[in-house]
Amino acid sequence: MSAPLAPPGGDGPLAQLRRYTPARIGLGRAGPSLPTREVLALALAHARARDAVHALLDLAALDVALRAMGVEAPVVRSAAPERAAYLARPDLGRRLSDGAAEALPRPAAAPAVAVVVADGLSAVAAQRHAPPLLGALRSLAPERWEAAPVVVALQARVALGDAVGAALGARLVAVLIGERPGLSSPDSLGVYLTSDPRPGRSDAERNCVSNIRPEGLPYGEAARRIDWLAREALARGGTGVALKDESDASASAGRQLE
C-alpha cells in the first residue's frame, strides 16, 4: 500500500513542487477521495473555463485600451452570426462576413505587418492581454509594430487573419487570439504569425507563441520571441515549417557578445 500523500501546504516534496506549477499534484486525501477543497477548486476552474468560452469581447473597453496607445482599430466579424454558431461551426469563424474585406480601410501603402486582435475561444484572454502585449511589441521594435494596422475580429478563428492580411496587402499577419481555456488557464493568449497571408493557408505555414499571460509567458518575453519571428519571417519570406524558432539561441549569442 502506498504512503498517504503529504497535505498541500506541508513540507513534503509534492507540497514543494506545488509552489512551482499550477498543475494539480499532491492534492492530499480525505479517506479514499480528494479533499473537499480540491473538488470545489476543480469545479471552480471548470466553471471559469466554460465562462471564458462563452464570454463576449467588451469592444468599448478594448477600444479605450487601444486608443490609449494611439491605435484606432476597425472591427470585422466572421461569417458566424453569433457565439453559439461560432462554437458549433468552426468553418464559419475562419471566413469574413459578406462585405467585411471590402469595408476595411486601406492603408496608404501596403504594410509589412498587420495585427488582428481576435476573441477566439477566450475573449477574456484577448481583453486582458492583447493591449499590453501590443504595447510591449511597439516599445521593443517600433519600426515594425507602430506602423502595423490593427483590426479587431469577432467570432474569429486563427485563419480569419489570412483574409484580413490579404485585404490589407500585408506581407505578414500576426493574430493575437484567445486560446482554448484549460483548467489552470482560462485566459491564455496565443499569437500566430503567417507570411504572405491569404485564404487557404494551412496551420503548417504558421508560427505560434502561446500561453501569454503574467502567470505563463510574460509580455516582455513573448514580445521578444514574436518580434524575432516577425523579423526573420520578413527577411526570409516564410513562416511555419520554413521558419524554426531560434530566438533563444539568438538571445544567448547576444548576451555572450556583451
The amino acid occupying position 231 is: R
* Alpha carbon distance 175, 162 (integer Å): 9
Give the DSSP letter string of 53-115.
HH----HHHHHHHHHTTT----EEEBS--SHHHHHH-HHHHTSBPTTHHHHSPPPSS--SEEE
CA distances from 40 to 47, 170, 190 (A): 10, 48, 28
158 marked as binding residue: yes
* Alpha carbon distance 135, 129 (integer Å): 10
Q: Which residue has the cell 507540497?
A: 15
Contact, 145 vs 138, CB < 8 A?
yes
Report the binding-site residues. 158, 179, 208
Residue positions forming the annotated binding site for adenosylcob(III)alamin? 158, 179, 208
